[in-house]
């Protein structure tokens, strides 16, 4: 693994000057294949043009605390994939993700075990209007379901996740009246 990290870092050292020249930010994600320590080594450049894509679910799949990872990288977070995690046993007929013995499934936001509201609150407090957030809602591919049922489950999980965000939004957006430039019913 260390050799892979060193090779990747070397490649990044060649790409980063171009990113800086054209003012393109590179956001590296721990895609359930590297630890926080590895990610820290990869982005260890003196440049504002390299940071991370913080993925809440992927840290837990690597048996790391997502909030600890947030605090560790909060000054280097360029974008976020907000994702929730549930135990693999919830969908026994679907492939799971993560380290052996620590595998998980991903689920609709608010249905899993991650402190999504706390993560989102910390992210918004740290990044404000510069918080680029993607709601990532993977649906377990259960072998017992038809393609049509899997598609419906995906739609349902997206709708559940959007409803969860709407439900927690008032506590997240504790602002003075008039500070929000969006109409009340826009989200």
Instruction: Going residue by residue through the chain, which has 187 residues, state the pLDDT in tens, using 9 for 90 and above.
Output: 689 999 999 999 999 999 999 999 999 998 888 999 999 999 999 999 999 999 999 999 999 999 999 999 999 999 999 999 999 999 999 999 999 888 999 999 999 999 999 999 999 999 998 999 999 999 999 999 999 999 999 999 999 999 999 999 887 766 433 444 554 555 4
- Kindly give, in sequence order, each residue whose CB lies less than 8 Å from that of residue 187, ignoring residues fewer than 6 positions away: 165, 166, 169
Strand-pair category, 77-82 with 50-55: parallel
Alpha helices in the chain, H assignment, sequence order: 2-21, 36-42, 56-61, 66-73, 116-127, 147-172
The third-level CATH classification (topology) of the domain covering 2-172 is: TIM Barrel (3.20.20)
**Residue 101: per-residue pLDDT:** 87
**Residue 187: per-residue pLDDT:** 46
**Residue 1: per-residue pLDDT:** 64
| 52-79 per-residue burial string, b: 16 or more CB within 10 A, e: under 16 | bbbbbbbbbbbebebeebbebbeebbbb
Alpha helices in 74-143, H assignment, sequence order: 116-127
**Residue 178: per-residue pLDDT:** 42
3-state DSSP of 29-41: ECCCCCCHHHHHH
Beta partners for residue 97, in sequence order: 104
Cβ pair 143, 93 in contact under 8 A: yes
Q: In what order do the strands lie in the sheet with 133-135?
A: 26-29, 50-55, 77-82, 133-135
Give the angle 81-86-90 at the CA atoms, nearest 5°. 140
Q: What is the pTM of this model?
A: 0.86
Residue 168 exposure: Cα atoms within 13 Å on the Cβ side: 16
**Residue 65: per-residue pLDDT:** 96
């Amino acid at each position: 693994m260390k050799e892979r990290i060193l090779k990747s870092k070397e490649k990044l050292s060649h790409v980063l000057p171009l990113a800086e020249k054209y003012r393109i930010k590179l956001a590296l994600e721990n895609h359930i294949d590297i630890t926080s320590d590895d990610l820290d080594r990869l982005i260890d450049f003196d440049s504002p043009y390299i940071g991370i894509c913080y993925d809440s679910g992927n840290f837990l799949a690597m048996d790391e605390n997502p909030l600890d990872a947030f605090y560790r990288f909060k000054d280097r977070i360029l974008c976020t994939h907000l994702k929730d995690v549930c135990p693999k046993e919830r969908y026994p007929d679907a492939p799971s993700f993560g380290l052996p013995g620590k595998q998980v499934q991903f689920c609709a936001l608010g249905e899993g075990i991650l402190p999504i509201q706390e993560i989102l609150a910390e992210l918004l407090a740290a990044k404000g209007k510069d918080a680029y957030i993607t709601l990532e809602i993977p649906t377990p591919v259960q072998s017992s379901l038809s393609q049509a049922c899997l598609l419906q489950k995906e739609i349902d999980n997206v709708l559940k996740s959007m409803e969860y965000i709407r439900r927690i939004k008032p506590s997240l957006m504790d602002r003075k009246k008039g500070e929000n430039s969006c109409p009340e019913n826009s989200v």
